A and B are shown apart, each in its own frame.
Chain A
Amino acid sequence: MREYESHLSKAFIIVFSLVCVAFFSVPLLWLLTAPFTPKTTLAVEIPANPTLENFRRVFDNSFAIRALFRNNLIIAGGAMLMVSTVATLASYGLSRTRLPGKNTLVYVLMLFSSVVGGTAAMVPLFLLAHNLHLIDTHLGVILVLTGGLLPAAIFMMRDFVESIPRSYEEAAIVYGASPLRIFCDIAFPLIRPGVAVVAIWTFVNAWGAFLIPVVMLRNPKNMPASVALYSFYSEAGTPIHTLVAAYAFLYGIPVLVLYLLVNWRFGFRFFGGIKS
């Protein structure tokens, strides 16, 4: 039916698409120009003399650099390892054992985690970390993030696991393989794309986390980049725009790269399709 579309509707498609693209991208344009602009500005303008001076000054701020290249990597990497390991095991176990109502259970857990995992549970999570002596540790942040992200991760992973034919594992069983061996030899290699997707999804979520680290961490040396961004404010409490922009630029790049990676390897979509 596309062939019959008139020039008018073709023009309409293009206009509509451009409006959408503008809506989503224009608010971010400033982030692309400001880091390369010598003087502080809020306007989007292609700098006449593009400069890397802002980045140099950002790298002089050892606190912010440590936040970005150490703390953020620890937190996001830790949460990524934790969530993908636990979610992989859980979704496999869930899929391969008989447990009535397990679909509903996972769904309810996911709804539950979006309620409890939000701001509502900050107080008990803080107290919990306090009692476990995890305040001001990266481990504490990682554990709390993992708890909140896990249900959704299991939810995503299940579809990858369910897509493996039962006969694969049954054949292995007949030939004498143990459950652990089946998991390592057969199930895991086949759900690796799912593990990758969940790992990246977790990484990106934890990479951007703000509220949980703010609540759980004390020492500025432990803070992630989301908090360290505020170190580019002047004494008077106003942001030095070019530096903030340069830092935000560095902070946002890994997310962009991971997005492109997922999009290239798997196609960014709802993994596993959806059922109604």
Chain B
Amino acid sequence: MAKILLEHVTKRFGELIAVNDVTLEVHDGEFVALLGPSGCGKTTTLRLIAGLEVPNAGRIQIGEREVTHLPPRERDVAMVFQDYALYPHMTLLDNIGYPLKVRGVGRREMVGRVTEVAQKLQIGDLLQRRPAQVSGGQQQRASVARALVHQAQVFLFDEPLSNLDAKLRLEARAFLKHLQREVGVTAVYVTHDQAEAMALADRIVVMNYGKIMQIGDPLQVYSRPANTFVASFMGNPPMNLLPCRVDLAAGKIIFDDDYMLDIAAHRERWSAAISNGPQFTLGIRPEHISISPTQLPGTIPSQVYAVQPLGGEWLVVTQVGRELVSVRLFQDEAPPLAETVWLRFDLARTFLYGSDGELLQ
């Protein structure tokens, strides 16, 4: 077990900056997820830690050792690849045992240790098969088993579940969570699936364009997105983000000129953060908006755009001026919706982001 430290790490591919000044500490025994859209530099960050890429700037430390320029084999890391990288010409036994073979462990001991790990991962019966003869989920376990056999200080996972279909993915997620509790290794886990990151990680690192957008524990990142990027990335459906103006004197948030929200009661909360600026973004999660068929004080009118049943809940998309606003209703029966409905925002749970996209409160 060891901690991982990245300090101002930058990696360029020609013109493109794949990892941009990333500073990150992964504590001993911690499970950290790197989360972000495709192409944001997650895999590159992982490969920098593994030593498969060398940074252009910055330093990397594993445990107490600086490893920035060490080759992978001297870093004592294990990696699970997105395509599993199981060798098609070897049995699962030889695949899982390959790290031991490379280290010169004798065949008998290798078989013993591989069998032990494989039993734990419930693929003990499949060791004589080739990768092509087992299912995707079993291949995934085999590649995890190979990493476990290696007994490294640090585990690196590159989207290990993305090649599984939806049902298997949920199973494998539970399995990984279970394994993590049992083994308790330091792990960095790359994924583009925010639900997966939330479910598995002790802390989430959200990345975009090679930069870290936010670091925090899953609930924190979900409930207090530090900027509009994280807000729009976390949650399904994501947070509603509405461009607006704030008139502090009148105690109003105004969007699309016609629609106003009375924030007089919450003036305290916001006045510290804002001056009377022109451009802000109001963020609110779909579950924090309620719908009323009639006009009530503090509601704003909207046109119903689409109603989607999600089983036990409903997603209602409405149109306010030029913006679409999603509303999530937890109920079994269909919402009785006319063309026009009135929305009530739970103002205590709204966020205001400045023109630079950063959270203001």
Q: Which residues does chain B contribute within 8 Å of A18, judged by CB atoms?
A: none
Residue among A165, A172, A174, A189 making CB contact with B83, cutoff 8 Å = A165
The interface-forming segment of A1-9, A78-86, A175-183 is: A175-183
Contacts of B85 in A (CB 8 A): 165, 167-168, 170-171
Q: Is the interface of A mostly helix, strand, loop or mixed?
A: helix
B63-111 residues with Cβ-Cβ distance < 8 A to A are: 71-73, 77-79, 81-83, 85, 87-89, 98-99, 102-103
- What are the 9 tightest A-B residue pairs by CB atom distance, in nearest-first order? A176-B73, A175-B99, A167-B85, A171-B85, A167-B81, A189-B89, A174-B72, A177-B102, A174-B79
Tally inter-chain residue pairs, CB-CB below 8 A.
Answer: 53
Contact in complex: A175, B87 (CB < 8 Å):
no
Q: Is the CB of B102 within 8 A of A174?
A: no
Say how far B189's CB is from chain A's closest CB, in angstroms: 16
20 more contacts with CB within 8 A, not counting A170-B79, A175-B146, A177-B102, are A165-B85, A167-B82, A167-B83, A170-B52, A170-B81, A170-B85, A171-B85, A173-B73, A174-B50, A174-B73, A174-B77, A174-B78, A175-B99, A176-B99, A176-B102, A176-B103, A177-B73, A177-B98, A181-B102, A190-B88
- The residues of A that contact B51 with a CB separation of less than 8 Å are 174
CA distance A38 to B88 in the complex (A): 56
Interchain CB contact under 8 A, B89 and A175: no
Does B141 sit within 8 A of A, measured CB to CB?
no
Are the CB atoms of B50 and A172 closer together than 8 Å?
no
Q: How far is the CA of A97 from the CA of B51 in the complex (A)?
A: 16
Chain B, residue nearest A192 (CB): B89
Partner of A173, one of B72, B78, B83: B72
Task: Please tell me if B42 contacts chain A, counting CB pairs below 8 Å.
Answer: no
A186 at the interface (CB under 8 A from B): yes
- With most chain A CB atoms within 10 A of its CB, the pick from B77, B82, B87, B150 is B87
Contact B73 A168 (CB under 8 A): no
Return the chain B residue nearest A188 by Cβ.
B89
**Chain B residues within 8 Å of A185, by CB:** 98
Query: Once the chains bind, are A172 and B98 in contact (CB under 8 Å)?
Result: yes
Rounded to whole Å, the gap between the CB of A212 and the closest CB of chain B is 37
Contact residues in A for B83 (Cβ distance below 8 Å)? 165, 167
Contacts of A168 in B (CB 8 A): 85, 87
A218 to chain B, nearest CB (A): 47
Bound CA–CA A168/B88 (angstroms): 10
Contact with A along B285-319 (1 / 0, CB 8 A): 00000000000000000000000000000000000
- Of all chain B residues, the one with the shortest Cβ separation from A181 is B102
Cα of A173 to Cα of B102 in the assembled complex, Å = 10
Alpha-carbon distance A20/B102, docked complex (angstroms): 56
> In whole angstroms, what is the CA distance A176 to B77 when docked?
10
In the bound complex, how far is the Cα of B70 from the Cα of A138, in angstroms? Answer: 48
Q: Hey, which chain A residues are within 8 Å of B73, CB to CB? A: 173-177
| Contact of A175 with B52 at beta-carbon distance under 8 Å, contacts A167-B81, A168-B85 already known | no
Known A168-B87, A189-B89, A190-B89: A175·B81 in contact at CB below 8 Å: no
Q: How far is the CA of A170 from the CA of B150 in the complex (A)?
A: 15
Q: How far is the CB of A161 from chain B (nearest CB, A)?
A: 15
Which of B73, B77, B78 has its CB near the most chain A CB atoms (within 10 A)?
A: B73
Expressed in whole angstroms, the Cα–Cα distance for A177 and B89 within the complex equals 17
Query: B72 — which chain A residues lie within 8 A by C-beta?
Result: 173-174, 176
- A190: B residues at CB distance < 8 A: 87-89
Q: Contacts A167-B81, A167-B82, A167-B83 given; indicate if A172 touches B89 (C-beta within 8 A).
A: no
| Residues in chain A near residue B79, CB distance under 8 A | 170-171, 174
A167-B81, A181-B102 given as contacts; is B52 within 8 A of A174 (CB)?
yes
With A167-B81, A175-B73, A176-B73 already in contact, the answer to whether A186 and B102 are too (CB < 8 A) is no
CB distance from A53 to the nearest CB of B (A): 50
Q: Is the CB of B150 within 8 A of A175?
A: yes
CB-defined interface of A146-176 with B at 8 Å, one 1/0 digit per residue?
0000000000000000000101101111111
On chain B, the residues within 8 Å of A177 by CB distance are 73, 98, 102
Interface centre among A171, A172, A174, A189 (most CB of B within 10 A): A174
Chain B residues lying within 8 Å of A167, measured Cβ to Cβ, are: 81-83, 85
Rounded to whole Å, the gap between the CB of A178 and the closest CB of chain B is 8
B74 to chain A: closest residue by CB: A176
A175 lies within 8 A of B82 (CB): no
CA of A190 to CA of B88 in the docked complex: distance in angstroms?
8
Compute how far the CA of A170 lies from the CA of B82 in the bound complex, rounded to whole angstroms: 12
Q: Specify which chain B residues have a CB less than 8 angstroms from the CB of A181 in the assembled complex.
A: 102
Note all chain A residues with C-beta closer than 8 A to B102: 172, 175-177, 181
Which B residue sits closest to A175, measured CB to CB? B99
Closest to A189 in B: B89
> Which single residue of chain A is at the shortest CB-CB distance from B89?
A189
A177 to chain B, nearest CB (A): 5
Q: How far does the Cβ of B309 sit from chain A's closest Cβ, in whole Å?
A: 41
Interface pairs (21), CB distance under 8 Å: A165-B83, A167-B81, A167-B82, A167-B85, A170-B79, A170-B85, A173-B71, A173-B72, A174-B51, A174-B52, A174-B73, A175-B73, A175-B98, A176-B72, A176-B99, A176-B102, A176-B103, A177-B73, A189-B87, A190-B88, A190-B89
> Which residues from B are CB-within-8-Å of A186?
87
Minimum C-beta distance from B144 to chain A (A): 12
